[in-house]
C-alpha cells in the first residue's frame, strides 16, 4: 500500500454464503476498472471475518490523490456500486461506504511532553492512544483540581448517576449488566461500595459540634449557671419531698408497732419509681451491685486455649473498669470505627452462602461476591437517604405520621429489593427464590451478629 496522504474511500460488502464465489470474481473485475479511473492511486480488497448473521465480508479500499479526485470518483464509479450490485446480486449482496482521512494532528501538542506522562507511550494528538490521558504539562491550575474532584459528580451523563439510578430502583439490573459485560458505563463496584459506605458513616455519625467544636462558640456561662441553679433547686425540692414522705411512712409503721432499726431506715428511699429498701451497702455507701468488675477465673476455664490466653482475668477487669469510667463512650467510639471493617468481612461470608445456595448456577465465587457488593451499596444508599429525610422532615416540621410511614415503606423495600435481585440475577422461579431468600436472611442475620460481636470484642480490648 502506498503512503499517499490523500483520502481513502472504504466500501464493505456483505455477501450471502451462496454468492461468495461469484461476488469475488466481480470484485476482481471491479478493482481493475477502478484503477483505470483518473485520480485513483491504488485499490485493493481484503477478506475479514463473517458478521453475526453469517454473511461473508469483503473490504475494498480506494486510495485517491486529493479531495477533488474523491468527489469525481464518488460521482462516477462510486455512485454505481449499489446499482450494479442490485442488478447482479439482488438481495444477496449489500454494501456500506465511508471516507477515511489521515490524522494530521501534530505529533506533539505544543508545550507538552513527546511521551505520555502517565504510561510513557508516544503521543499523537491531545490524548494518549494507550491510556487515554490528556497531553498537558506538569503544571496544573486550582480550577483543574476542582474540576477533577467534582466534574463527574455534577455531570448529568456521568457514570455516577448512570450507576446510582439503576442501583436504587432496578434491583439486580446493575449486577446482571456487569456480569453480561456492560461495564464501562457504570462505576466500578468496589469503588461505589467504598464511596457509599463512607457517605453513610459521615452522615450518620459525624457531629460537627463534637468533631469541629473549635468552630462553634460556647454557650453563655450565665445561661449555664442559671440552668445549674434551676436544676439544683429542683433536686433539693424533690429531696425534701422524698424525705417528708419517707418520715411519714416510718411514723405510720411505728404507730402500728412495727419497729424499724437504723440500718433499714437508712436503706429506705423514695423516688419517682416508688419505694426501695437497700440493705447491704459497703462502708463508703456504694451499692452492692456496683462492684461488678470482679471476674472469676473459673468462668474462663471452658474457653478454648487460644482464647483463654488472650482473655485473661486482669485484662477483662481492666476493660470493665475503663468502660465504667467513661460510661462506655470509648467503647462505642471504637465499635463505630470497627463496623466498616466488620461489614467488609461479612461480604465474602455471604458470597459463600450464595455459592452454596446456587451450586448449579455455574457462576464463580467472585460473581456471588459482586451481588453482595451491589446489595450492600444499595443498603448504604437507602440508609443515608432515610437519615437525610428524617433530618430534613424535622427541620420542615413534617407530621410525625408521614415520617413514620415513609420510614416503614423504605424499610420494607430493602427485603423486597433483595428478593427481586435474586430472581433477576439467578433467574429461578418465585418459589425456589423465596425458599433461598429465607435461608439467606437467616444466614445473613447470624453472620451479621457474629461480625458485630467480633467488632465489639475488638473494640472492647482497644480501649
For 221-245, write each residue's pLDDT tens digit.
545 454 555 556 666 665 676 676 6
Domain span at residue 57? 8-100
d(CA 343, CA 193): 11
* 211, 332: one domain: yes
* 212, 255: one domain: no
What tens digit of pLDDT does each residue of 364-405 get?
A: 999 999 999 999 999 999 999 999 998 888 888 888 888 889
| Domain final residue pick, 291, 315, 341 | 291
State the chain's maximal CA–CA distance in angstroms. 136
Mean pLDDT of 434-447: 94
Mean pLDDT of 324-346: 80
d(CA 58, CA 53): 15
What is the pLDDT, as a whole number, of residue 382?
Answer: 93
Q: Please calculate the CA angle 411-413-418 and round it to the nearest 5 degrees.
A: 115
Check pLDDT > 80 for residue 187. Answer: yes
- What does the block give as the cell for 261? 432499726
In a domain, 125, yes or no: no
* 373, 390: one domain: yes
In a domain, 251, yes or no: yes
- What does the block give as the cell for 345? 468481612
| Number of structural domains found in the chain | 3
* 365, 409: one domain: yes
Mean pLDDT of the chain: 77
Is residue 6 left, alpha or beta, with left meaning phi > 0 and alpha meaning psi from -120 to 50? Answer: beta
* 60, 207: one domain: no
What tens digit of pLDDT does each residue of 286-312 get?
A: 444 445 666 666 666 666 676 666 667
Decide if 69 contacts 40 (C-beta within 8 A).
Answer: yes
| Domain final residue pick, 81, 100, 119 | 100
Check pLDDT > 90 for residue 123. Answer: no
Check pLDDT > 90 for residue 440. Answer: yes
Mean pLDDT of 35-61: 88
Greatest mean pLDDT among 97-111, 130-144, 375-389: 375-389
Amino acid at each position: 500500500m502506498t503512503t499517499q496522504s490523500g483520502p481513502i474511500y472504504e466500501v464493505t460488502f456483505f455477501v450471502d454464503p451462496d454468492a461468495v464465489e461469484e461476488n469475488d470474481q466481480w470484485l476482481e473485475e471491479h478493482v481493475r476498472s477502478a484503477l483505470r479511473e483518473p485520480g485513483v492511486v491504488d485499490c485493493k480488497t481484503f477478506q475479514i471475518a463473517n458478521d453475526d448473521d453469517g454473511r461473508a465480508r469483503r473490504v475494498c479500499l480506494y486510495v485517491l490523490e486529493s479531495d477533488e479526485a474523491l468527489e469525481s470518483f464518488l460521482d462516477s464509479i462510486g455512485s454505481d456500486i449499489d446499482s450494479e450490485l442490485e442488478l447482479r446480486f439482488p438481495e444477496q449482496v449489500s454494501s456500506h461506504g465511508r471516507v477515511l482521512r489521515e490524522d494530521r494532528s501534530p505529533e506533539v501538542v505544543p508545550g507538552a511532553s513527546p511521551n505520555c506522562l502517565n504510561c510513557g507511550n508516544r503521543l499523537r494528538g491531545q490524548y494518549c492512544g494507550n491510556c487515554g490521558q490528556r497531553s498537558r504539562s506538569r503544571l496544573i491550575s486550582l480550577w483543574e483540581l476542582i474540576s477533577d474532584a467534582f466534574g463527574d459528580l455534577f455531570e448529568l451523563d456521568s457514570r455516577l448517576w448512570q450507576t446510582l439510578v439503576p442501583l436504587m430502583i432496578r434491583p439486580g439490573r446493575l449486577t446482571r449488566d456487569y456480569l453480561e459485560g456492560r461495564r464501562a458505563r457504570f462505576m466500578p463496584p468496589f469503588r461505589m461500595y467504598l464511596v457509599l459506605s463512607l457517605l453513610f458513616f459521615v452522615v450518620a455519625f459525624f457531629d460537627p459540634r463534637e468533631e469541629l467544636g473549635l468552630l462553634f462558640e460556647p454557650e453563655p456561662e450565665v445561661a449555664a449557671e442559671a440552668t445549674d441553679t434551676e436544676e439544683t433547686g429542683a433536686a433539693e425540692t424533690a429531696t425534701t419531698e422524698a424525705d417528708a414522705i419517707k418520715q411519714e411512712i416510718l411514723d405510720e409503721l411505728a404507730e402500728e408497732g412495727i419497729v424499724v432499726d437504723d440500718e433499714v431506715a437508712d436503706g429506705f428511699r423514695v423516688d419517682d419509681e416508688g419505694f426501695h429498701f437497700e440493705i447491704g451497702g459497703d462502708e463508703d455507701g456504694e451499692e452492692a451491685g456496683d462492684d461488678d468488675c470482679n471476674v472469676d477465673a473459673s468462668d474462663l476455664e471452658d474457653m478454648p486455649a487460644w482464647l483463654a490466653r488472650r482473655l485473661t482475668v486482669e485484662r477483662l477487669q481492666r476493660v470493665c473498669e475503663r468502660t465504667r469510667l467513661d460510661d462506655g463512650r470509648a467503647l462505642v467510639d471504637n465499635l463505630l470505627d470497627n463496623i466498616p471493617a466488620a461489614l467488609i468481612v461479612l461480604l465474602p461470608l455471604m458470597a459463600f452462602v450464595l455459592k452454596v445456595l446456587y451450586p448449579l448456577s455455574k457462576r464463580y465465587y467472585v460473581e456471588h461476591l459482586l451481588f453482595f457488593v451491589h446489595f450492600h451499596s444499595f443498603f448504604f444508599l437507602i440508609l443515608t437517604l432515610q437519615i437525610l429525610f428524617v433530618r430534613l422532615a424535622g427541620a420542615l416540621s413534617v407530621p410525625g405520621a408521614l415520617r413514620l410511614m415513609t420510614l416503614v415503606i423504605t424499610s420494607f423495600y430493602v427485603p423486597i429489593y433483595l428478593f427481586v435481585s435474586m430472581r433477576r440475577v439467578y433467574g429461578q422461579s418465585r418459589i425456589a427464590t423465596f425458599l433461598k431468600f429465607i435461608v439467606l436472611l437467616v444466614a445473613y442475620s447470624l453472620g451479621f451478629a457474629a461480625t458485630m460481636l467480633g467488632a465489639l470484642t475488638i473494640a472492647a480490648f482497644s480501649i
